[in-house]
Structures are given as structure tokens and as C-alpha cells.
Structure 1
């Protein structure tokens, strides 16, 4: 079941809907499969509204939206590229994910040529490294590129040779190769030596804003980091991930010392040390820190956090992907003693979720100290307390706009507990609750009453995901054998309920129920209908422009 709440949702994404309503783009839009893409773009819109800065940032909405719609399958007729070109033209945006050896570069450039008009958001998004035969076209395109991604799935040695060959081929044009480049993303298969050569190739006058490298360790971290200083004064975002070695710590501290404008830092867990934490604490404009990622493939164990985080006066976002570690609770308390975070994401990435239990009582007390939190995610943790004990401290965070909780507790939850939470979150726009009953190995039962509570207490709610009990007769028999492996059924923005466990296959029951809660214009579309999702968006927008308050409901079963 999908629900679009037109009065709150459409205005925030009108700039996206208008271009896509053009009839020439209908075939492309059908690829979206569902309106969930629009929900994601709405969330990204909020994420990109950071404090003003003279720097030019990536238009994450366009890039993320294109990545979902545009999944290239290069045929002889280049239909996918043509379709992507139409989207780019609608947004006056050059943002494509291209694998060099799978497309005729000359044809691609001819498609993009009419779009090359000066625009603040102009970007060219390449994946892969061009061969020598592509150099001419690449040199032409590079003059307008401000966002460059280099990545490849080849073996490191092969890729490194291709990068070095490319660098040699364009060596003479190095000073003017990327005159407008501001953001560089480098993938996991990039060899450090080759990346260092690439950085050194860029003109010294270039003012990079964002450098991101996810690297496999080859002992070259220090050399790579030492190649950055001439570009660092303007840097606002630094991402160094992968398997770093200890000798890179001092080099990283040097990078931080020469980057006074840094606002966003993501670091591999191996790089974190007491000297590095001290270097971070001296960055006056730092807004977000992320430590460790799933790509590290390692368990983060007890590095020493020194109690210096109170000196981060502008830190508004903290993300950590790690198993339970007491320093995280201490870190939250230290920061909360001085000011409140705006965004907090804690994601478990260990393998043994049964063994690595979380002291949620202490953790939730620490979270509750951040009274200005607007976005909270606690994902894939196992708690030794009930869901109710997890939710009650969150009810104190009355400014929350998005909430995502995914835990494995030892006892279930009732509608009353969810009601007490939602009653205190009047500004909530995005809700996602995944609260299985660990001992009974099934989903916590969330009833139609829960949907009523969400509608009643959260007038600004745009989408919610409430996973339901999935062990009854409506589930295929082969799936019942492994209930914990079941994918979530469907929710309120893709919704099913356990009202007699028949509403999972009867979205009309949910639609009829919701229509009793408030004035709703109900439309139900089951799986297999050929109706375009954009027809519903356009109809809702037309009603909105006519001054009618309406919601649009469509349903399909996952």
C-alpha cells in the first residue's frame, strides 16, 4: 500500500515533479517502479539544507534520483542513454554513470553536447577510467567537469596501469585539464600510487572542496595524504576509508591541520587515534563525523576516545558503524553536555548480533541529552530491554523529524507504547519502526490502530514504515519455515496490516479504514495494473492546485 499525502509532500518536491511530468519522459519514469524514490528525494532535500557556505556542493537529489532511474543497459540503439539525456535536459544537469568500455564515447558526447550550457549545477559523473582511445573526448568533457568519480571493478594492477597510461597521455594538458573540478570520488579498486599520480596531475590552482577515497591498503596512505596539502585550504569534506595502516596517522593529522574549513570528515577506523581526535577537535567548523564503514570488514574495538569532544562547537551530525562499544555512550554524553547534535546514526556492522548486546539504558540516556535532535537512526542493535523502554526516552525528543529504529529486543511492544511515542512527536515526517520479538522469532504485531495513531498524532507525517507480524496464513508456506528471513511485508507508504491477517492481500481494507480517519480521496491500484504512478502524482497535484485537500492511496503487494 502506498500513500502520498499531497498537501505536505508535493510542495517540497515540486521542482522534481514538474520536469518529470513532461510526456517525453514517461518511458523513463516507468523505471522508477514505485513512488518510494520520491520519498527518498524528499529526505535528501532535508539533508542538503545545511548552513550556507560559499562553496558549491553536489546536488545530491539529482545524482541519487538518476542513479535509481537510470540503470544503463547499453544496447545498439542507445535508448537508455537517450532517456538519461532527456532527464538531464529537463534538469539542465549532466550527471551520468558511464562505464567507458561499454559505450561509444563519441556518441555519448554528441548526446551531451546540446546540454553543455553554463549552469551552477553542471556535473559530469563518470565511473571508470578512459582508455587511450578515449582521451580526445575525455579532454573535451573534462573542461566542464566539477564532480568526478573514478572507480572500476578490475584488478588493482590492471587498473593502475590504465590510470597511469591515461595520465601520461594527457600530461601536456594537465594545467587546464579540470579547471572547474571541485569534487573527486575514488573507489575501492583504485591503487594508491595511481591515485597519488592523479592528484599530483591536477593544477595547483585548483580549489578542491571534497576528496573521497575508499582504498585497499598497499602501504601508500602516507604518500597519498602528503600529496594533498596544496589543495587543502579550500577543502570542506574529506573521506578516507578502507584498510589504513598505522603510519598514516601522522600524515592524516597533517592533512587535518592544513584544512581549516573542513565541515564533514569520514575516516577508516584504523586511522582513529588520540592525536587524530585532538586534531579533529581543533576544526572550528566541523559539523559531521563518521567513523568506520561496512567496507572496513573489521570490528571496531575500544580505541580510546579522549574527552575532548566538548570542543566541537558546531558538530551537528555523528554517524558510527560499529558493534557495541562503551566509548560511544561516553562520546554522546560529552557532546550533549555542551550542545545538541542534529543528526545521530548508530549502525551495527558486527557479525554476531546475538552475542554483542547493547546497554540501551545507558545509550538511550545519552541520546536523550541531545534535545535538538531532528534525525535519529538506531539500526541493527539487539537490546536487553523491552521495546517500550527504548521508545520512552525518544518521546523526549520532541523536535524529531525522522526516526528509524531497527532493534532485536527481548520483549514485544503494544499500540499503547507507540501511541505514547507518537503523541510527543508532532513534527515527525518520516517514521520507520522494525521491532521484532526476539524470543518469539517474529514481527511485533502492529495493528490498524497504529496507523490511526500515526495519522492522529503526526499531522506532518509524509511516510511511515511499520513492519507487521508475518507468520500467518497469508504468508507463503515455504516462507513460514524461516520467519526471521522474511522480508518485511508492506506498510503505510507500502503498507499491510495484521487486521485478521487478511489486509495483507486486501489493500482495500486499509484504504477503507484510513478513509474513516480523515477526509481522504481513495484510489487503490493492485499489483499488475498498468497505471503509471505519475498519473496519481499529476492528479493529486491538479487537485492541490484546485484548492482541494486530498491524499492519494494506491496499493500493491510486495
Structure 2
């Protein structure tokens, strides 16, 4: 049978279902497989205009025909979503009474529901009533509860069904309230034995919560973030908890990490399959970055690394050399990291080992104020030569090697050279530039590129300097090849 093309238009699906009697059931499955929450509520309780779908229009108490019609639809619903941020979701008493009348003696109104993504803030009356509709078959739940007060948030968590045995992904965006601590732990432990992915944004991270998470042995992804109260963690050993996740592959933490680096990373040994690590430091104290980088280097399967908001100078060898052993690393990101001590040599040692790089971020947060860096366009040439899969690069480089100060010193304003800043943000395919045969040209998939080049003088293109750096690189490689041939 020829399958027609639909542009997310319910009218097209209705027309196709009316064309042939045999098509009615399949096209009803297509129409109601994924439903917008606002559309679903308008079906249950239209406020002003009659709903275009006459079979689902309820006027007061639904009739037996209305109940039968809606149950026929509800059993087909597998995904409920809410797109956009406009307006608020309100479940009135009329809607709740209608739902109860339709549900009757049935255990659940949506027996085949798999995922719920509200994507919008809901008030307490709406969100607590909505959680009562969640069936045991639910696999994904994503709810925004930031509008709720402390007591309301705890009430919302207590309104969860006693068990969600199939739930594998739980995302709750809620305020950090101490009153909700016990409720969220009960949700995690008692009702969700198959939970694999947990995201608790703006939530209180307490000892009881970490202990509850540690008992979920199949947990693969943890995302936590809050303005954590350190007093809550006093006397608590994180090491004995975070070492209990044998299947953990992703860890994202937005925490004051000055006291928790060893606990978060060092205890998760090299036998773990950690592939994604994102750390955002929210504290005011300085973090021991050398310990942090050494701890990161203990995870050989790491593919994605992001370190943000760490403000401390460290030596080049302390940062880059430990990361060079992570041969599977694809996207190291040191955004807002003070990397002004890094030079071409250090980056070159890193690039020689990380052949699978698709993204390279080595930006200095205060590059405009410093006006100098030890990285030159040679690093850009090395990236193109060693990393054929590179798609995104962000660097701050000097255009000429002789402009790099060995020991940066402040100069009077009148003696400083005139500086022209080139900023590139090209969306699209990069055309390969002419280059020696043994040195790779710009990878054709390189996009977008953000190269901030500081160059003394007004004339010339920074890409001429890139060509020059790559020519010098090719000459070095040719001489190495000839020397190896002589030895043979």
C-alpha cells in the first residue's frame, strides 16, 4: 500500500482515514500516537468554541458514546508533549471530573502511555492531578515544577503513583527545597527500579539523595545542579556512594567543586565506563585543577569533556599531558578556563594522540584584556593535519610567532603595537586551501569555525600565516622522513 506523506496536519490524516474504511484504524493510531497536552485538554473541556472533532466534544457530563469514543482514542496515545512556553497549563475541576467519569473502573486512562514531556511550568493543582494519570507503562517523565512553593513541591512528589516499574528516564526541574528531600528519595527508591537516567536541576543535593541514587545499580546518567548548601554534606562520605555506579556513562554536575573533586572523580576508578563528563564550578574558592585533570585522565573511555568556570592558572604540562592518554576523546571543551600558559608544543602533543577529535575548544575568557597568547597559527595547522574528523574549533591565537612574549610585561599604551582582530564565524562547508601533499588541507566538514586571530599590522590575511605554518610543518615532516630513510 502506498503510504502518503503528511506535514503534521491532523486534517490530512482525518481525510485519509475517511477515504477508505480499512484505513481508519491505522490512521487513528498515527493521529493520536503523539498528542500535545494543550490540544488534549481542549478536547476534554473546550471553553468557548465547539471542538472540530464532534465525537470528542463533551458538553457537561459525557455520554456513554463520548466515553467509548475517548477511551478508543486514549488507548492509542503513547506520547504526551507540550511545545512552547506561552501560557500556563490549568486542569480545572471540570476537566478532572470528566477524566474521572471517562476512566470509571479502569486502572488508568492511558494504558499505553510511554512518555510525558510538559516542557512548561505548571501550577500545583494541575501538576498533582496530572501525575495521577501516569500509568505503570510510563518510560519517560519530564516535568517543570519551578512555580511550586516548598510545600507544594513536596506535595507534588508525594502525588506520584506508588510504583512506576518501567520508568527509565526522570527529569524534574524544581526548586531546591529541603521539605522535598524525603519525597524525592521515596520516588527514586520505591517506585523506579529500572531508572537509568536522572536529571535533577535546581534541586537540593543532600546526603540522603546521593545515598538513594547509589542504590540504583543500573543508573547510567546523572545530571545534578544547584546552589548547594555545603552544610548539608558535612560529615558525609561521597566516595563510598559515587563508587557504587558500575554502569555510569555520563556525569554532569553544576556544583561548588572545590571540596568535592576527589569525591566525585577519584573514587570512580578506571574500570568504570564513563564516556561523558561535564563539570561547572559554581563556588567562589579556587579548585585544585591539577588534581582535577589527573582525576579526569583516569577514565580511558572518555569521549566528551567539558570544564567550565574554573579560574586558576596551571602549568601546561599539568593540564594537557594527562589528557593526551584519552585517545577516544572527541570534544574537549575548556570554556572559561585560564589557558594562557598553553603553547603550540603542548597542543601539538595533545593533537598527536587525539586523532578522533571532532571539536576543539581552547579559549581564554579574558583574551581581550590580555591581548596575547602562546598559541599561534601553527596550532591551527596541526589541528587540520592530525585531526581529519574535526568539525568545530575555537582558538585564540597570535598571527606571528615573533609577537609572542616570552615573559609578558605591561607596556605603556603609546608603545603597544596596533592590533587588528579577525573573528570568523563561518556557517557552511570550508573549501580546502592549497597545501603540501603530506599535510592535510582544511577538512571539508569543518563548520562552524571560530578562530580569533590577533595580528600586528593592517595588511595580509591570517590564512597566509596558516599556509606558512603548515609549510613549515611539512618541511619538518619531510626532514623526519628523510632521516628515517637514511637510518634504514
TM-score, normalised with respect to structure 2: 0.66
The answer for the alignment partner of 1:490 in structure 2 is: 425
Structure 1 position 280 matched with structure 2 position 213: yes
Find the counterpart in structure 1 of residue 354 from structure 2: 425
Structure 1 residues 242 and 502, CA gap change in structure 2 (3 angstroms): farther
- Does the 8 Å contact 1:209/1:235 carry over to 2? yes
Where in structure 2 are the equivalents of 1:377-416 lying within 5 Å?
377-386=306-315, 389-409=318-338, 411-416=340-345
* 103, 109, 115: which one aligns with 2:10: 109
Residue 178 of structure 1 deviates from its aligned partner by: 3.4
Task: Find the aligned partners of 1:334 and 1:208 in 2 and give their Cα distance.
Answer: 33
| Higher mean C-alpha deviation, range 206-215 or range 381-390 | 381-390
CA distance 1:378–1:183, shift in 2 (3 Å): same
Residue aligning to 1:199: 131
Deviations 1:354-392 (A, max 9, x none): x54332111111111112212111123222314553222
From the superposition, tell whether residues 299 and 260 of structure 1 become closer, same or farther in structure 2 (CA, over 3 Å).
closer
Q: 1:141: Cα distance to partner?
A: 7.4
Within 1, Cα distance between the matches of 2:456 and 2:75? Answer: 59
Q: Which has the larger radius of gyration?
A: 2
Deviation at 1:290?
A: 0.9
Question: In structure 2, do the counterparts of structure 1 residues 126 and 268 end up closer, same or farther at CA, with 3 Å as the change threshold?
Answer: same
1:478 match = none
Gaps of 5+ in 1: 1-84, 95-107, 473-485, 519-558
- Cα deviations by residue, 1:316-343 (Å, 9 ceiling, x for unpaired): 1100113433214322111126524111
Which residue of the partner structure matches residue 289 of structure 1?
A: 222
Among 184, 205, 208, which residue is 1:252 paired with? 184
Structure 1 or 2: more helix by fraction: 1
CA distance in 2, matches of 1:505, 1:191: 60
Q: How many residues align?
A: 389
Cα deviation 1:114-153 (Å, max 9, x = unaligned): 594757x964455788443286758697654433234775
When residues 117 and 386 of structure 1 are mapped into structure 2, their CA distance, relative to the original with a 3 A threshold, is farther
Question: Residues 470, 136 of structure 1: CA spacing in aligned structure 2 closer, same or farther, 3 A cutoff?
Answer: farther
The aligned counterpart of 1:133 is 46
2:164 aligned to which of 229, 232, 250: 232
Change (3 A) 1:315 1:416: same
2:422, 2:75 → 1: CA distance? Answer: 46
Deviation at 1:425, TM superposition (A): 0.8
The alignment yields a C-alpha RMSD, in angstroms, of 4.2
The aligned residue for residue 297 of structure 2 is 368
Shift of 1:395: 1.1
Q: Is the 8 A contact 1:422 1:454 kept in 2?
A: yes
* Greater length-normalized contact order (CA 8 Å, ≥ 6 residues apart): 1
Report the 3-state secondary structure (helix = DSSP H, G, I; strand = E; otherwise coil) of the residue aligned with 2:325: coil
Contact kept? 1:452, 1:514, Cα under 8 Å:
yes
Question: Is there any run of 5+ residues in structure 2 with no aligned partner, and where?
Answer: 17-25, 57-69, 401-420, 427-445, 474-488
Q: State the match for 1:183 in structure 2.
A: 115
Q: Which residue of 2 aligns with 1:213?
A: 143
* TM-score, scaled to structure 1: 0.59
Whether the 8 Å contact between 1:400 and 1:428 is mirrored in structure 2 is yes
1:161 and 1:407, CA in 2 relative to 1: closer, same or farther beyond 3 A?
closer
CA 1:178–1:447: 2 relative to 1, 3 Å: farther
